[in-house]
Structure 1
Amino acid sequence: MRLPKRLSPTTLLVVAGLLLALISSILLTHRRHTEAIEADRIARTKLPDTLRVVTLSGATTFFVYRDEPMGYQYELVRLFAERIRRPMKLYLAHDLDEAERLVRTRQMDLCITPRAVTQSSKEELLFTGPEELSGLTLVQRRVLNREDTARYVRDVTGLLDRTVTLLAGSRAEERIQRLQEQLGGTINIKLLPSDTLDSEDLIDQVADGVIDYTIADQELARLAKTYYPNIDISVEVGFAQRLRWFTSPYNEGLAKALDEWAKNIPQEKAFKTIYRKYFELNKNEDTSSAEQPQSPTERIPKGPKIGRGERTYVHEGGISPFDTIFRKEAARLGWPWQLLASIAYQESNFKPTVIGWSGARGLMGIMPRTGQIYGASKEELLDPKVSVRVAVDCIRSIEKMFKSIPEGDDRISVVLASYNAGPAHLQDAIRLAQKYGYSTTKWAGGIEETLRLKSEAKYYNDPVCRAGYLRGKGVARYVEQVMARYNGYLEHTSSKD
């Protein structure tokens, strides 16, 4: 047997060097792998430097009103961002599929459009934050007299042999079909196309007496009741679903922080204020009654004084105690002063210290941010002279945006709608009118029609729309009421001017 040849010292040194290099490489790779695991763990558990939020525009999620960003879910997540001291960026998705894709690919950190928590969705998404239990509810008119009693439904069995109007293909249609089987009777179902109507439209029709019954998600129904106190939403017709915000499973730290915050948020004053704003406060308190006056003088305040405490304003005839201010400021605008008076009544009922649900303040219903733009503080907006001055400055700026509309009632109507909702929504309506063949210079039958369409997802998600959801029918009603009252004021004051 031959013994192996003895290696030279030089060869041993080379071999030793190679072994050391291999060991060093293995140790370095292991260290880098360990560091990568640790970095990934830290990244998963840390909060983002900027909270990137995605949502769908909608009545309860996010919308712009009077150039102010609003929405129940939006205000909640803004509260959370303030709590963790992070700046927030908002992105509007066109549908929930897009929002989910952005979250899964980590282009967005969080979606605040609540989604049903299901076993299959939990495999790809991490549900977090506030939890809502939302089912379906019957929307009908309240009982106001004996004649209404026969129409009123007290529980789901009362739907038998009644006609319920629903959107085709909706969750409500599926629920009613099942309810018929459970009750062993017939519910007359009237289906309407969902490409031209939405649940809000059907709720509006119930409130207006066009239809007797529809079914809507509870959260939307609660919101609608703040616009229509004459509806009843007490009868539940579907099992509640768990709805939550969602993030990527990667964002463990964000989800943990959200869950901890959500545990205590219902007891906090800020949350209660937000909830009350969207689901309890009467949304018509910024405006006057929906009913029009029987005579021009019916809306003119009675009595010698308006106001309380130190701020008391004497009414010496005419329309209001503020007619002198309206006359002076209207001269800068080139509008009849009675039109400013009509806006003031619509916004505040001539109560100069009123603050509406949206935050609009004072005689002319000015938002604080708008006041800042025109040099007035929140406190100064409660001064009638300042309020009317800012309103005229604002209206003059708005009017310049719509010079393409000929002077007259059409332009005034568009400017009034912009004053109420914000110019961006009227610019959306004009682009929609151009796209869908409506008049872009006429209010009635043109811009008004497309403005109303902005409450429907098909239209507010249209690429030409940039300001998202708007309850356009409410804005159209605002214009109608202001113009009707203005004409009444003109008749009342014509003999005195």
Structure 2
Amino acid sequence: MIKLPFLHISLLALATVPLACGSNKAASGETDGNVPDTLHAATLYGPTSYFSYRGQTMGFDYENVKRFAEDENLVLDLKVAPSLNALLKMLENGEIELAAYPIPIIEEYNKVVRHCGYKEITWQVLVQPHNKERISDVTGLVGKDVYVESDSKYYYRLKNLDQELGGGINIVTITKDSLITEDLIRMVDRGEIPLTVVDSDIAELNKSYYPRLDIGMKISLDQFSSWAVRNDLDSLASKINNWEKRHDNSQMLREIYKKYFEISKSSAPYENPVEALGVKIKKGKRISNYDATFRRHAKIPGYDWRLLASIGFNESSFNNDTVSWAGAKGLMQLMPATAKTVGVEPEELVNPERCIFAAASLLKKLDLALAEKVPDPDERQRFVVAAYNCGLGHIYDAIALAEKYGLDSKRWIGNVSEAALMKSRPKYYNDKVVKNGYFRGRETVDFVDKVFSVYDFFIKHTQ
């Protein structure tokens, strides 16, 4: 079974994170057998390792290396490398002591690093709908269409499996720039393609978004990986191993694991939001119990109150008790730190009046920040809603990519929305114009579509 799943994606960036008091020492090794007071580490951007979400730094590896530094009273100097090879080169050159990222446990890497800490086990799995036609054995792939990214490890595994079975698997390759493995998983969920293959950690993460999927059929051998230090840093490796084995870490580790891999991240409603609303709202009737509050606070950004209501519906289905996997709270699903930037304390987010006020204030703040880049006020609303969902930095990045790659940077649909999707691929989140790393663009593009779909519905059915 998977012990600690990770996703191997990277991006070029630098980030320094001070976490505890201590004197700085060079990252040149441990000649005295002691762990340095400053821990120089690096990781990679990715949907579980290290990323920015709604303006907050998050990630499974990030949270664990931060906890290790805090527990051991170390200052954490954390950098983000552009690729796995660059990360290993940083270790080899003495720029860092720790690669806080799952390094494959293979002979090639064992020559230059010492693995330590959590050992994860992953394998490739078939992603399929959970129904009575479920494939339970690899022989069931004969005669089936399986979609994978071209020239990927999944493609080569399927080619080998096809040879082992004597042929018959129809391997369909995808090459579109803005389409990635996670998109293929989504397409299986929607019935647009029948099957795909991914690593078990990617599958488990995405099942938290698409709970109707079946990811139980294994099609490869186990793959092992863990964090790593330089070969000469025995003391640091031992310290990490001992920290991992401590009893009081097990529950915390389980909670972090659950946060990233088990708690549902599918937005409500699961199906088409307009269809879900259509049976609940009659023409001329109120949208929610909070209509008056939406009307009052929509004056802050100068938006139609029904757009503000649509954001609230898509965020929480008007449920003020909602708390997301990432810690967003209340009817409008604001991160506590974000709420504070508009003068609302985290504990106030359970109050619908204050939560809607905070959301409206944030929309105004985002609108002002985007006014120069997107002059048309109606078009800018889509950009603002996108930034509300993912954070302003990712939208600035998408605008920069659109400008660089010949898209209209002042138009959302088919232009900056496409650039947002591109930011899920290393080629683009490694681009020099990108400042905020990996971004699960599909989530935000879908959010904007849903918000404006529901908004149009509200306009037709209310005054």
Say whether 1:423 aligns with 2:392: yes
Residue number in structure 1 paired with 2:128: 140
Aligned-partner residue type, residue 181 of structure 2: S
RMSD between superposed Cα atoms in Å: 2.2
**Residue of structure 2 equivalent to 1:293:** 274
Q: Name the counterpart of 1:191.
A: 173
Deviation at 1:369, TM superposition (A): 0.8
Q: Which residue of 2 aligns with 1:35?
A: none
Q: CA deviation at 1:336?
A: 0.9
Residue number among 98, 101, 110 corresponding to 2:89 in the alignment: 101
Candidates 328, 334, 351, aligned match of 1:383: 351
* Distance of 1:294 and 1:210 partners within structure 2: 19
Q: Deviations over 1:421-440 (max 9, x none)?
A: 00000000000000000001
Higher-Rg structure is 1
Measured against aligned partners, the alpha-carbon deviations of 1:29-87 in whole angstroms (never above 9, x if no partner) come to xxxxxxxxxxx995463223222221221112111110011122222222222221223
Q: Is the 8 A contact 2:116 2:229 kept in 1?
A: yes
Name the CA distance, whole Å, in 2 between partners of 1:130 and 1:266: 15
Normalised TM-score (structure 1): 0.83
* 1:398 matched to 2:366: yes
How far apart are the structure 2 equivalents of 1:373 and 1:252? 44
Which residue in 1 is equivalent to 2:9? none
Give, in whole Å, the separation in 2 of the partners of 1:255 and 1:425: 35
The AA in structure 1 aligned to 2:436 is: A
- Distance, in Å, in 2 between the alignment partners of 1:199 and 1:131 is 24
Given the alignment, which residue of 94, 99, 113 partners 1:111?
A: 99
Give deviations 1:330-373, integer Å, cap 9, x for gaps: 11211011111111111111111221111000111110111222
Distance 1:47 1:325 in 2: 56
Partner of residue 140 from structure 2, selected from 158, 179, 202: 158
Q: Residue 339 in 1 paired to residue 307 in 2?
A: yes
Shift of residue 88, structure 1, vs aligned partner: 2.0
1:121 equivalenced with 2:103 (yes/no)? no
CA pair 489-232 structure 1, distance change in 2 beyond 3 A: same
- Determine whether 1:279 maps to 2:270: no
Q: Is 2:434 the partner of 1:465?
A: yes
Residue 68 (1) aligns with residue 56 (2): yes
Residue 266 (structure 1) shift: 9.1
Name which of 431, 434, 447 aligns with 2:416.
447
**1-structure distance, mates of 2:75, 2:337:** 19
Whether the 8 Å contact between 1:53 and 1:89 is mirrored in structure 2 is yes
1:317 Cα deviation from its structure 2 partner:
5.7
Q: Secondary structure at the match of 1:130?
A: strand
Work out the CA distance in 2 between the residues paired with 1:388 and 1:192. Answer: 42
Q: Deviations over 1:131-156 (max 9, x none)?
A: 1011111111111xxxxx44x31111
| Partners of 1:165 and 1:202 within 8 A in 2 | yes
In structure 2, distance between residues paired with 1:454 and 1:244: 26
Q: CA deviation at 1:267?
A: 6.3
Q: 1:131 aligns with which of 99, 112, 119?
A: 119
TM-score by length of 2: 0.89
2:332 to 336, 357, 364: 364
Cα distance change of structure 1 residues 256 and 175 upon mapping to structure 2, 3 Å threshold: same
Per mean C-alpha deviation after superposition, the further-off stretch among 174-183 and 349-358 is 174-183
Aligned to 1:6: none
1:256 is paired with a residue whose SS is helix
Deviation at 1:176, TM superposition (A): 2.0
Residue 121 of structure 2: SS of its match in structure 1? Answer: strand
- Work out the CA distance in 2 between the residues paired with 1:141 and 1:69: 33
- The separation in 2 between residues aligned to 1:488 and 1:81, in whole angstroms, is 50
Determine if the alignment matches structure 1 residue 350 to structure 2 residue 306: no
Matches within 5 A, 1:312-327: 318-327=286-295
C-alpha change, 1:347 and 1:176, in structure 2 (3 Å) is: same
What SS does the corresponding residue of 1:451 show, helix, strand or coil?
helix
Equivalent-residue separation in structure 2 for 1:300 and 1:263 (angstroms): 54
- 1:6-25 correspondence to structure 2 within 5 Å: none
Alignment partner, residue 37 of structure 2 = 49
Residue 244 (structure 1) aligns with = 226
Percent of residue pairs identical: 33
Q: Do the aligned partners of 1:361 and 1:367 also contact (CA within 8 Å) in 2?
A: yes
Q: Deviations over 1:252-298 (max 9, x none)?
A: 2221111112224696222111111111111025x433413238654
Q: Which residue of 1 aligns with 2:162?
A: 180
**What is the letter of the counterpart of residue 443 of structure 1?**
W
Instruction: Say if 2:50 is the partner of 1:83.
Output: no
Give, in whole Å, the separation in 2 of the partners of 1:100 and 1:318.
Answer: 58
Q: Give the secondary structure class of the aligned counterpart of 1:69.
A: strand
**In 2, Cα distance between the equivalents of 1:52 and 1:462?**
25
Paired residue secondary structure (1:121): helix
Q: Deviations over 1:207-259 (max 9, x none)?
A: 22222111111101100111111211100000011111112123222211111
Partners in 1 of 2:172 and 2:275 — Cα distance?
Answer: 36
Judge conservation of contact 1:44–1:253 (CA < 8 Å) in 2: no
Q: Give the structure with the higher percent helix.
A: 1
Q: 2:200, 2:276 → 1: CA distance?
A: 39
CA contact (8 A) 1:126 1:255 kept: yes
Residues in 1 aligned to 2:85 and 2:410: alpha-carbon distance in whole angstroms: 36
How far apart, CA to CA, are the structure 2 residues paired with 1:473 and 1:430?
A: 16
Separation of aligned partners in 2, 1:482 and 1:299:
17
The equivalent residue for 2:240 is 258
Question: Paired residue for 2:18?
Answer: none
Q: Is the 8 A contact 2:29 2:94 kept in 1?
A: no
Q: What is aligned with 1:485?
A: 454
Q: CA deviation at 1:481?
A: 0.8
Contact 1:428/1:464 (CA < 8 Å) preserved in 2? yes
Output the CA distance in 2 between the equivalents of 1:194 and 1:92.
27
The 3 A distance-change label for structure 1 pair 45 and 80 is same
**1:433 counterpart (402, 412, 436):** 402
SS at 1:112's partner residue? strand
Query: Does the aligned pair in 2 maintain the 1:300–1:320 contact within 8 Å?
Result: no
Aligned mates of 1:62, 1:331 — CA distance in 2: 37
Q: What secondary structure does 2:208 align onto?
A: helix
Q: Residues 128 and 258 of structure 1 are in contact (CA less than 8 Å); yes or no, is this contact kept in structure 2?
A: yes
Is contact 2:178-2:418 (8 Å) kept?
no
**Counterparts in 2 of 1:195 and 1:330: CA distance versus 1, 3 Å:** closer
Instruction: Return 445-454 or 86-95, whichever deviates more.
Output: 86-95
Give unpaired runs (5+ residues) of structure 2.
Answer: 1-27
Q: Structure 2: how far apart are the matches of 1:217 and 1:208?
A: 20
Q: In 1, distance between residues paired with 2:379 and 2:330?
A: 27
CA distance in 2, matches of 1:329, 1:225: 36
